[in-house]
């Protein structure tokens, strides 16, 4: 089974509530390491301008490029749900290894704090919450109910199978586990 995210880009108001809910749940300090990010895509010239928001965590790819790139096998993919996790004990740290995983990821999922040899950290799809039959904190926080998560096949059955959105390119090689309603 592979868990996947759904993101309804037509509903996202760019409010960052998912970002903060994630930091609070996972007790992340302020600073550059943010497991969830919202990016703004502004296009066009006044007054024909279009703006879209994209909320991104880790997409827990079928073939995670971070995992392939990691020199110490610190990154693994869980068999039971396909969640990609990192073992901080094994991770070399950003200065020793040069953040190869970050470079390998097309979606900016691997995150590092701004200190010497900070270990990689990233969205773990709130695997602790699934145990309590709860969805990831970002999903449960979204003010416009633009996010969802579940087994990929169920998500596809509910929302269809559009794999791209404004600001997001689907990589057939790594196969990110995400379905969109694009703007």
Nearer to another protein, 87 or 140 (CB): 140
Answer for which of 1, 50, 68, 160 binds another protein (CB under 8 A) is: 50
Return the residue matching tokens 């759904």.
6
Residues 5-44 vs another protein: string with x where CB under 8 A? -----xxxxxxxx-xxx-xxx-x--xx----------x-x
The count of chain residues that interact with another protein, using the rule CB under 8 A, is 36
By CB under 8 A, residue 132 contacts another protein:
no
By CB under 8 A, residue 71 contacts another protein:
no
Nearer to another protein, 65 or 150 (CB): 150
Rounded to the nearest whole angstrom, what is the least distance from the CB of residue 10 to another protein in the complex?
8
Paired with 85 in beta bridges are 76
Nearer to another protein, 78 or 183 (CB): 183
Distances (CA, A) of 179 to 7, 61, 107: 7, 12, 14
Nearer to another protein, 80 or 131 (CB): 131
- Quote the distance between the C-alpha of residue 165 and its chain's center: 14
Nearer to another protein, 38 or 92 (CB): 38
- Quote the distance between the C-alpha of residue 64 and its chain's center: 12
How would DSSP label each residue in 50-113?
EEEEEEE-----SS-HHHHH-TT--EEE-TTT--EEE-TTT---HHHH--HHHHH-TT---B--
Residue 28's CB: how many other CB atoms inside 10 A?
A: 18
By CB under 8 A, residue 142 contacts another protein:
yes
Rounded to the nearest whole angstrom, what is the least distance from the CB of residue 34 to another protein in the complex?
8
By CB under 8 A, residue 123 contacts another protein:
no
Question: Is residue 86 within 8 Å of 94, Cβ to Cβ?
Answer: no
Cα 64 to Cα 12: distance, rounded to the nearest angstrom? 26
Q: Which residues bind another protein (CB under 8 A)?
A: 10-17, 19-21, 23-25, 27, 30-31, 42, 44-47, 49-53, 134, 137, 140-146
């Amino acid at each position: 089974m592979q868990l996947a995210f759904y993101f309804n880009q037509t509903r996202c108001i760019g409010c960052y509530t998912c970002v903060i809910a994630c930091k609070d749940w996972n007790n992340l300090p302020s600073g550059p390491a943010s497991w969830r990010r919202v990016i703004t895509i502004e296009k066009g010239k006044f007054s024909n301008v279009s703006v879209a928001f994209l909320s991104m965590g880790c997409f827990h790819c079928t073939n995670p490029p971070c995992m392939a790139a990691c020199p110490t096998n610190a990154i693994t993919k869980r068999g039971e749900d396909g969640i990609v996790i990192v073992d901080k004990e094994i991770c070399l740290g950003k200065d020793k290894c040069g953040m190869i995983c970050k470079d390998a990821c097309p979606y900016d999922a691997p995150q590092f704090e701004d200190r010497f040899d900070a270990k990689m950290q990233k969205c773990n799809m709130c695997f602790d919450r699934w145990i309590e039959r709860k969805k990831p904190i970002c999903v449960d926080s979204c003010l416009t109910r633009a996010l969802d998560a579940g087994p990929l096949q169920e998500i596809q059955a509910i929302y269809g199978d559009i794999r791209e959105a404004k600001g997001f390119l689907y990589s057939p090689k790594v196969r990110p586990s995400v379905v969109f309603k694009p703007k």
